[in-house]
Structure 1
Amino acid sequence: MGETKVHHADRIFTALRDGAATAQSALAASWSRSLRTYGLDPDHSRPPRRLSESEFGTAFERTESLTRLAQPVLDRLFQSVGEAGCCVLLTDRDGVPLDRRGVAGDDADFLRLGLWTGMVWSEASEGTNGVGTCLAEGRPLTIQRDQHFLTRNIELSCTVAPIWDARGKLVAALDVSTCRADQTPATLRLIAAATREAAQRIEAGHFRQTFHHARIVLGQDTDCGPGGLLAVDREDLVVGASRAARVAYGLTDAQLARPLPAADVLRGEAAEPAEDLAAAERGALQRALSRTRGNVAAAARLLGVSRATMHRKLARLGLDRRR
């Protein structure tokens, strides 16, 4: 183990002496933060810090709604990866596991390595690691064995995906970790895909729960990425957007502070007021006709207008030709 420690630390120092490597490699950049920003020693062997009971209670309470909502997703993910010697962790934004899943026979190893609820896995505390670096960079990643900064952590391979809340803020991370050395690159890629998909399910569930009063629309993909979710009210105004939707449509907190017409967001340009009014009227007529199964007289009564007025509106908007 002593030779491994020396070799691992030397590898890190050698990489960091090469300024180009730090600029070009995300891994080397994280190692640099670990050493130069956080002042960590790759050879220190202290276990991760564990929160006190009261500290953990405060951390859990802050993310309790999302943690409880995530339970079925964690269960399904663990069913997929548990037999491969993996544990599943849901952490808060500070890298503290709030919930976990693991096989009882592997618990002693994971506890020894600090993969347990209440431990602190931020990058500032543990250097380059799956959870901490994912949260620091806001992206899915896998940190395999000697890619970790601390020698003590090179037994681990960790695949992590960030979780964004309904307001587009980074709020948690979903981690699948193993201390087995026999995981193949293909297996790790499958685990990474399952982890990302599970994180997206948690995000979608949280978004729907937050905007339970609104209609949820799945946006179309754009050149900037997947369309994500939009929350739309009864007036077809966007009142919420997931992180993916914000990126795809270039939406900011300032823009979302005032509801936006859903049609403008989805097509990328504002409609003319007259066109907008006609579309709203056309939609109201079509909904009334749908609810009355095409009965014009009943639709007119539903809208509170005369049958003659209803026929004039249908003719003006070209809807009578569809009947």
Structure 2
Amino acid sequence: MGKSDRPHHADLVYATLNDGTSSAQSAVAASWSRSMSHYGLDPDHAPPPLRLGDSEFKAALSRMELLVRLAQGTLDRLFQAVGDAGCCVLLTDDDGVPLDRRGVAGDDADFEALGLWTGMVWSEQSEGTNGVGTCIAEGRALTIHRDQHFLTRNIGLSCTVAPIWDANGRLMGTLDVSTCRSDLTPGILKLVAAATRDAATRIETQHFREAFRHARILVGPDAGAGPAGLLAVDREDLVIGASRAARLVYGLTDEHLRNPFPASDLVDGETVRPGDGLLAGERAAVRQALSRAKGNVSAAARLLGVSRATMHRKIARLGLGRES
């Protein structure tokens, strides 16, 4: 088939990739370039979507059993919010394979035909530019709307996806809300995107708390553009774990966390207002312990699992002695 015979979408892809202007340097164009140059895909000529065999899918599901189990309630709530808009919800692993889904029964046949089903493979390598695969490739939340997809057979889809990071700050999967409706307005898509990001953050938080279920969890300051960071602190107030958001805010790496350090190191020297971030969380915990112990410092220290001397240092540092 010559170029003149290619459908419009393929023309758009080739014209964009041949364009040297800044308009061709968008994130979508970069993904289109990867799809063609790196993966050797053709927008018009692609085999049917890949689907894992039963044994492969069971292995993928087993590997991510904790994620799937923790996500159940969040998937239900997200679907309640977006299902009436003709959307389905997919929870995928880090290979872009949906492990669990929610959808309206009457739409299931259409969604399965489009590949929006468990066991399908939505990596960029397999499907080119698409919500799940491009989210994994770029490590950020995004929406791939209709003809932003690389393959012509996918341009009827609109897919909003957010990454899900594990307790060690590594991408472990994605949360996808997809629809084949053509009448969703930009405003509705923004609401769907916000709901998807919030739901992904809830799953991350559950996973982090489960991974450090024997530790105390401190919530860091609001990062502004994303979720607040979480820190796991042991009985000696040493940081033993940090979520991806906390790692970004405080510049923490695996090497830093290999040797636990005092949580106070992360707020010393910063401008922190009462009521903000980690300091507020620690202050609240100390005040609560003192309240439960009716002001008895030794008893409060036992409640927090720290020494009496450490408790006195906390009271002085947090300015609580003036309140007693």
CA–CA distance in 1 between the matches of 2:43 and 2:228? 41
Deviations 1:249-290 (A, max 9, x none): 110111011112101123357xxxxxxxxxxxxxxx989865
- Aligned-partner Cα distance in 2 for 1:286–1:86: 46
| Structural mapping, 1:177-192, within 5 Å | 177-192=178-193
Aligned to 1:212: 213
Deviations along 1:218-276, whole A, 9 cap, x unmatched? Answer: 0013588654111111111111000101001110111011112101123357xxxxxxx
Match of 1:239 in 2: 240
Q: CA deviation at 1:24?
A: 2.9
Alpha-carbon shift at residue 202 of structure 1 (Å): 0.2
CA RMSD of aligned residues (A): 3.2
TM-score, structure 1 as length reference: 0.84
Partner Cα separation in structure 2 for residue 295 and residue 117 of structure 1 = 56
SS of match in other structure, 2:218: strand
Counterpart residue identity of residue 55, structure 1: E
Cα offset, 1:4, TM superposition: 10
Name the % identity.
69
Structure 2 equivalent of residue 71 of structure 1: 72
Match of 1:95 in 2: 96
Amino acid at match of 1:212: R
CA deviation after TM superposition for structure 1 residue 159, in Å: 0.3
- How far the C-alpha of 1:214 sits from its partner, in A, is 0.5
Classify the secondary structure of the residue corresponding to 1:293: coil
Distance 2:202 2:250 in 1: 21
Aligned partner of 1:186: which letter?
G
Say if 1:67 and 1:22 are closer, same or farther in 2 by CA, change over 3 A.
Answer: farther
| Residue correspondences, number | 299
Look up the SS of the partner of 2:184 in the other structure.
coil
Provide the rounded CA distance (Å) in 1 between the counterparts of 2:5 and 2:100: 32
Structure 1 residues 263 and 112, CA gap change in structure 2 (3 angstroms):
same
Structure (1 or 2) with the larger CA radius of gyration: 1
SS at match of 2:120: coil
One-letter amino acid matched to 2:186 = P
Normalised TM-score (structure 2): 0.84
Aligned position for 2:151: 150
User: Any gaps of 5 or more consecutive residues in structure 2?
Assistant: 271-285, 304-308
Pair 1:37–1:46, CA change in 2 (3 A): same
Shift in CA distance, 175/217, structure 1 to aligned 2, threshold 3 Å: same
Match of 1:276 in 2: none
Residue in structure 2 matched with residue 160 of structure 1 by the alignment: 161
CA shift for structure 1 position 18: 1.7
Structure 1: 5+ residue stretches without partners: 270-284, 304-309
Which segment is superposed worse, 13-22 or 116-125? 13-22
2:56 corresponds to which residue? 55
- Letter in structure 2 aligned against 1:254: E
Distance 1:150 1:98 in 2: 23
